[in-house]
Structure 1
Amino acid sequence: MYGVPQPHVGLVEWWIAASKLAENAWFITFITVILVDLATGFTKGFFKSSNTKVNSTIGREGLIKHTVIAGIATIFYPLVDCWGLASLANLFLMFFIGQYGISIVENLGAMGIPLPRWVTDSLEKLRDRGNEN
C-alpha cells in the first residue's frame, strides 16, 4: 500500500494473456508431452513385457492427475504472465516437460522398446526391471 504497487489483474488482462497460450511454444510442448504420456501409459498395458496391465482405475487416476496439472498450468500461466513473470511460468512448464519426458521413456522401456544402456541405467524403474530379467 505504501511501498511497491501491487499487481492488479482483471479478467480482461487475464483473458488477453490466456489467448496468447496457443502461440507459446513451451505451452504447446507441455500439452503435447502430456498427451503422448497418456497414450504411451495406456498402450504399455497391452504389451506382454509390461509389469502392469490395462486397468480402468489406474487409467482414470492418471487421466485425472494429468488434467489437474494441465488445468493448473492453463489457469495460472496467464495470471503469472500478467504479473510480468512469464519466464518463471516457462520454467514451471519446462520442469513438467522434463518429468513427463522421463515418464514417456519409462513407458517405452516397459513396452520392451530397446533403449540405450545409459538410459536404462539412469532410470530407476527400468534399471530394476532390467535386473529382474
Structure 2
Amino acid sequence: MQQIREYLSNISAAAVGSNERESAIGVIVAIIGAAGTALGGWDKGMIILIILMAGDYITGVLGAIKTKTVNSDVMYWGGIRKIVVLFVIYLAYAIDGWMHPDAPIFRTLAIYFYVGREGLSVIENLGTLNVPLPQKMKDVLQQLNEKGEGKSG
C-alpha cells in the first residue's frame, strides 16, 4: 500500500508544471517510471517485451488495414491483452519478492515467455504485410500453426 501511495505522490508531483503541456509530459514520464518500477525495472528483457508489444499492435493494425478487416473490438481486446500480460509480469515480480527477493526467476520466465509469443505474432503480422521473411522462418511458423490447430503430433 505504501508503494502505491509513493507512485501516486510522484505522479501528482509531476503534474505540477508551468503550463498544461509541461504537466502532461511530467505525468507521462512519471507513469512510465512508476510502471517500470512496479514491473521490476527496465531491464533489457522488459524493454524488448514493450518494443515487441508495440510492434505487434502496430503491425496487427497495419495488417488489418491491408486485408480490410479492421475491427475496433478486436483492436480494443488486443490492447486489453497487452495490459493483462503486464499484470502477469507484475504478479510474477510480486511472487519473486515473496519467495526469493534476490532472484527474479518467475518474472524472468514470464518475460521470456511473452517475448516469444509477441515475437511470433510480429512475424505473422509481417507475413500478412508481405514483408519478405526467410523460408525457414515461414516453415517453423507454419509448423507451429499446425500444431496449435491439432493437425500434427
Whether the TM-score (by the shorter chain) exceeds 0.5 is yes
Q: Judging changes above 3 Å, is the alpha-carbon distance between structure 1 residues 19 and 69 closer, same or farther for their aligned structure 2 residues? A: closer
Question: Unaligned regions of 5+ residues in structure 1, if any?
Answer: 1-9, 129-133
Between the aligned partners of 1:124 and 1:40, the Cα distance in structure 2 is 19
Q: CA deviation at 1:34?
A: 1.0
Counterpart selection for 2:76 from 60, 69, 75:
60
Confirm or deny: 8 A CA contact 1:18 1:78 kept in the other structure: no
Confirm or deny: 8 A CA contact 2:93 2:106 kept in the other structure: no
Confirm or deny: 8 A CA contact 1:33 1:101 kept in the other structure: yes
1:27 equivalent to 2:51? Answer no
1:123 aligns to what SS in structure 2? Answer: helix
Between the aligned partners of 1:37 and 1:118, the Cα distance in structure 2 is 21
The structure showing larger relative contact order (alpha-carbon pairs under 8 Å, at least 6 residues apart) is: 1
Q: Judging changes above 3 Å, is the alpha-carbon distance between structure 1 residues 43 and 95 closer, same or farther for their aligned structure 2 residues? A: same
Question: Unaligned regions of 5+ residues in structure 2, if any?
Answer: 8-35, 147-153
Q: Indicate the residue corresponding to 1:69 in structure 2.
A: 85
Q: Judging changes above 3 Å, is the alpha-carbon distance between structure 1 residues 66 and 46 closer, same or farther for their aligned structure 2 residues? A: same
What percentage of aligned pairs have identical amino acids?
25
Counterpart selection for 2:95 from 77, 80, 101:
80
**RMSD of aligned C-alpha atoms?**
3.0
Q: Which TM-score applies when normalising by structure 2?
A: 0.61
Confirm or deny: 8 A CA contact 2:56 2:122 kept in the other structure: yes
Of 115-124 and 96-105, deviating more is 115-124
